[in-house]
Amino acid sequence: SIGMASSSVDNIESPSLISNPSGEDEKFSLNNSDEQYRKLFIGGLSYTTIDDKLKEYCSKYGDIFECAIMRDREGRSRGFAFVNFKDRAMVDGFMAHRPHIIDGRQIEPKRAMPRDETSRSEGQLTVKKIFIGAIKDELTDDDLK
């Protein structure tokens, strides 16, 4: 029941964030509201890596709800995938154990972000220092400002 599960978790704002390791109520523990916290983008995959190999590797860090290598219309790998773990802590564990090498290639895992949030978050960043390289010697500070 929800009441029992929430008693074992501190600082829960919404019942949708409660993990349910027993799996008794999959719909409750795997609803969409916390999916973004359980999902990883995996870039840099070898084009020969298959779904089962990726799932087998990632499952060393926790239970996998879904694992899918993105493919083009001809069925060829596009070199990236999405992996949904059953729990947010499993994503944290996977990220903490970088680098990861699958089929001889170092993959690039990143926490998946919804498309609308990625563009919005970049616009909200405050940058105090940037690097500008390969500039001509005759440029002045005023030119760069």
State yes or no: pLDDT of 112 exceeds 70.
yes
Rounded-to-integer distance, Cα 108 and Cα 98, Å: 9
Q: What pLDDT was estimated at residue 117?
A: 56
For 31-113, CATH number out of 3.40.50.720, 1.10.3720.10, 3.30.70.330, 3.30.70.980 equals 3.30.70.330
Amino acid at 136: K
Q: What pLDDT was estimated at residue 142?
A: 84
The pair of structure tokens assigned to 1 is 């029941």
Q: What is the mean pLDDT of the chain?
A: 77
State yes or no: pLDDT of 1 exceeds 80.
no
State yes or no: pLDDT of 26 exceeds 50.
no
State yes or no: pLDDT of 4 exceeds 70.
no
The pair of structure tokens assigned to 24 is 């008794």
Q: What pLDDT was estimated at residue 104?
A: 96
Return the ∠ at Cα 43 (arms to 39 and 49), rounded to 5°: 100
- The answer to whether the CB of 17 falls within 8 A of the CB of 82 is no
State yes or no: pLDDT of 48 exceeds 50.
yes
State yes or no: pLDDT of 41 exceeds 80.
yes
State yes or no: pLDDT of 107 exceeds 90.
yes
